[in-house]
Each structure stands twice: as C-alpha cells, then as structure tokens.
Structure 1
Amino acid sequence: MDSSAIKVGADSTLTATLAEGIKDSLPIVLSYVPVAFAFGMNATKLGFTPLESVFFSCIIYAGASQFVITTLLAAGSALWVAALTVMAMDVRHVLYGPSLRSRILHPLKNPKTALWAFGLTDEVFAAATAKLVRDNRRWSENWMLGIAFCSWLSWVAGTVLGAFSGYGLLEGYPTVESALGFMLPALFMSFLLASFQRRQSLSVTAALLGALAGVTLFSIPAAILAGIVAGCLTALVQAFYQGAPDES
C-alpha cells in the first residue's frame, strides 16, 4: 500500500469530525431546549409576540441575558439602558475568541471561523476548551461547527415551542419552573469542573471575590464585570510570575 495513503488515513483519525461535533452537542442541546422553552413562554407572558421572542433567540442568542433584556424592556426601560446592561453581562464573550485562538494549533479558515464564532456561548466555549486541553490534535473547525450549530438550533427550537405554546403552562408547577432556570448554569458548571485544574484555583477565587464585591456594593451587571476583571488580572499576574501554563 502507498505510504502516502497510509499517512492520510492516519491523519484523518486525528481530527474530530462534524458528526462528532453533533454528537458532543447533545448534552448542551438537552439543557438548552427546556431553558429556551421557558424563555419563549416568559417573553410572550411579558407581552412580546412569538415572532419577537424567536427573533431574540435567533439574533441575540445570549441565554440569561435574553431574560434580562425582555424584562427590562417590558418594564419600560430605555433601549440603551437594556442594551448596556446586557453588554455588561456578556462582555466576557470578548475574551472567548482570543482564549481559544491561543490554544488552537490548526490554521483557521475565515468563513468557517465566522460561523462557529457566532455560536460561541459559555457552554460551547467550555466544551471546546475541554477538548483542546484533553487532545489539541483532534480539535477541528468542522467539530466546532457541529457543536455550535446544533446548540444554536436547539435554543431557537426551544424558544419556538415555548413562544407558540402560550404562557402559564408551568404556573402550577413552580418546582419544575425553577429547575428549568437552573439547568443552564448547572450545565456550564459541569463543563467548568471538567476542565478545571489546580493552578487555576487562584484566578477562580479572585473572580468569585470580585463578583461578590460587585453584587454587594453595586448590581448584578457590575458583579459580572468585576468578576471577569478580577479573574483575568489574577491570571495575568500569575502567568507573569510563574510563566505561561503548559498547553500540552
């Protein structure tokens, strides 16, 4: 057999495929659908039309921030106030791209990168980081497209189901309603714990203390921003004195 053919066959097993991305997205999909369902119901309950609710999920696609912005707008807040609040809550996403890029050994293709970058939510970022930490060689943009697109599609589909089914279905089941709201942070926490390492404990502690100070002294958006800044600054200082962490 031709040696080049053997080499191609061996290399093909090193990169994760689109199908693997779809398969790996299932834990995210299973948690996104009920939370998005709750968002669709909540948005229509606040006075938004089903199409407006679905529009939020298609374009903003920001999880908990969608609950915040719909609540603020329904309460009569100015659009710029709602926008700034959501930006403060989601400013962490600015760091996701550079963080992943520093770990990725493969060359990136702009069209594909733009597509999966849109779907780079907390959970997708955590899943990608965990895969890069475990085995950088098997990460691929096709895998990222699979996990990002399926996650986005499940969020939109859940919103459609919730928005068009009407509101009030869970009013008699407060425990179920609370559980739906907890699934999203629980999923992200599971990914965070999967990729957590001992050397990150100082940064995590600093982020938690910063967030606690922010929510005590100011507000939830300020707490999110304070936690991000505290964690990032601690990581930078730690990297400066101890050297960059081993990416292997």
Structure 2
Amino acid sequence: MNSDLSFRTGLKDTLPTVFGYIGIGLAFGIVSRAASMDVWIALLLSLITYSGAAQFVIVSMVAAQSPLISIVLSVFMLSARMLLTSMTVAPYYKDESMGKNIALGTLLTDETFALSMSKLNYTDHKLSYPWLTAANLFAYSAWAAAAVAGNLIGSLIPDPEKFGLDYALVAMFIGLLYLQMIGDRSMKFSFQVGLVLVALVLTYVGMIFIPGSLLVLVVTIVTCLIGMGVRRHASTNV
C-alpha cells in the first residue's frame, strides 16, 4: 500500500481482500442452493442486500418461514453498525457532491471501510473518490460473482464448513486489523492491542446479555468511548 489514491491503485489495494469476499460469497451461494433458492435470487440478494451476515440470516429465516417484518428488522439491526462506519468516512468526502457521497456510502462494507482506515496511514489522512469507488466496485463485483458461482456449484458441496469457507471472512478481518494496527503511527501498538482485548472481553460478556444483532454495534461504541477517554486523559496529563 502506498500514498497513491488513483482508481487503479484502489483496485490493487483491494485485491488481497477479494479472496475473503470470494470465500464467503461461495459459502453463501452454496447455502442459498441448499435452501432451494434459484441462482437469480442469490444474485439479487447479493446486489441489493450486499451484506454477508444479513444474507445468511435472510436465507435461514426464509427457510424457517419467518414473518417478513421479522426478517426486515433483523437485517436492519444486524447492519446498523454501517451507520458508524459511514459517518467515520463521510468527513473525508465533505467536498464531494451528495450524489457521490451516496454512491460511496451505498457500497461501503466493513472490509472497504477497514481498507480506507489503513490507507489513511499512507496518505496524510486523505482519501479520494476514485480510490474508494474502485475498492467498492471491485468488492461488489467479486461478491456477486462468487455468490452466483456458489449457487451453481452448491449441489457439489453439501458441507462448505469442511473446506474452511466459513472462516474466510474472519481471517480477512484479522489481516485487515493487523495491517491497520502496524500502519497507524498516531497510537502506540500496545494501546491498540489493549483496545482489541477490551473489545474481545466485552464481546464475550455481552453474548450473555445482548442479542447478537446488537452486540457488534454496542461493543464498537463502548470500545470507541473507552479509547477516546483514555487518550483524552493521557493528553491532559502530559
């Protein structure tokens, strides 16, 4: 990763994360086939919903014949965290038109958000519309293509877990987190490790009391507040 913010560099920077999209996209396609969904339904879900976790929830709830309102609310709560990620990225595009901001926000994912935060460490905290557009479109296309491929070959892979496809997304996030931590020069590495441990503990404890659809959002907010509080306290005492 370097300081270039061109469209071409956006494609290049996104390439390593695409393998995670392919793994999870294939797994979703296989699951959708197991739930008797046609390939065009899997494609539409990938293009319109465009959320791995939400799409798995939709498939399972449709298979269980859950009410439509329950499916909609579950997907909304599961994806509510994207409000935070979008608000974090938005200030870097305050000079762009509303249309461009809507386009970027519509296709923003956890992965392209993490990639953007890592890119800031190399660009003097700047982002460009061409760079993020390239990242979003590359990820979007790879996800949809993988979902279609998974659905088509679903009958040949009845148990995707034994191939480790269900772990691809987790592995990709671990890699993105590590790159962000070693690239961020504004915070000590030990401080970042401490926040990761706090998030893990909060997640473990929160699983007892908080519904899974809300857990990620709550842990994210609480960990951010803790990190901000610690940094403010440290700067005040300097």
Please indicate the TM-score interval, normalised by the length of the shorter structure.
0.7 to 0.9
Q: Which residue of 1 aligns with 2:72?
A: 83
How far the C-alpha of 1:203 sits from its partner, in A, is 3.6
The answer to whether the aligner puts 1:208 opposite 2:193 as a matched pair is no
Q: 1:135 to 1:173 in 2, by over 3 A?
A: closer
**Number of aligned residues:** 228
RMSD after superposition: 2.5
Scaled by the length of structure 2, what TM-score is found? 0.84
The answer to whether the aligner puts 1:170 opposite 2:162 as a matched pair is no
Contact 1:206 1:231 in 2 (8 A): yes
Give the greater-gyration-radius structure (CA): 1
How far the C-alpha of 1:238 sits from its partner, in A, is 2.8
Contact 2:3 2:123 in 1 (8 A): no
Q: Of residues 20, 24, 27 in structure 2, which corresponds to 1:35?
A: 24
Q: 1:173 to 1:215 in 2, by over 3 A?
A: closer
Runs of 4+ in 1 over 4 A off after TM superposition: none
Q: Which residue of 2 aligns with 1:4?
A: none
Q: Which residue of 1 aligns with 2:134?
A: 146
Q: 1:241 to 1:101 in 2, by over 3 A?
A: farther
Determine helix, strand or coil for the equivalent of 2:203: helix
Q: Which residue of 2 aligns with 1:191?
A: 176
Contact 2:33 2:155 in 1 (8 A): no
* 1:2-55 CA distance string (max 9 Å, x none): xxxxxxxxxxx9651101111112112222123212211211211322221111
**Structure 2 counterpart of 1:140, which letter?**
S
Determine helix, strand or coil for the equivalent of 2:154: coil
Q: Answer with 85-94 or 199-208: which moved more.
A: 199-208
Distance 2:190 2:94 in 1: 27
Distance 1:66 1:213 in 2: 26
Q: Which residue of 2 aligns with 1:7?
A: none
Q: Which residue of 2 aligns with 1:112?
A: 100
Contact 1:15 1:140 in 2 (8 A): no
**Structure 1 counterpart of 2:12, which letter?**
K
Determine helix, strand or coil for the equivalent of 1:25: helix
Q: Of residues 111, 120, 128 in structure 1, which corresponds to 2:116?
A: 128
Distance 2:232 2:58 in 1: 38
Contact 1:116 1:149 in 2 (8 A): no
Q: Which residue of 1 aligns with 2:88?
A: 99
Q: Of residues 219, 222, 226 in structure 2, which corresponds to 1:230?
A: 222
How far the C-alpha of 1:73 sits from its partner, in A, is 1.9
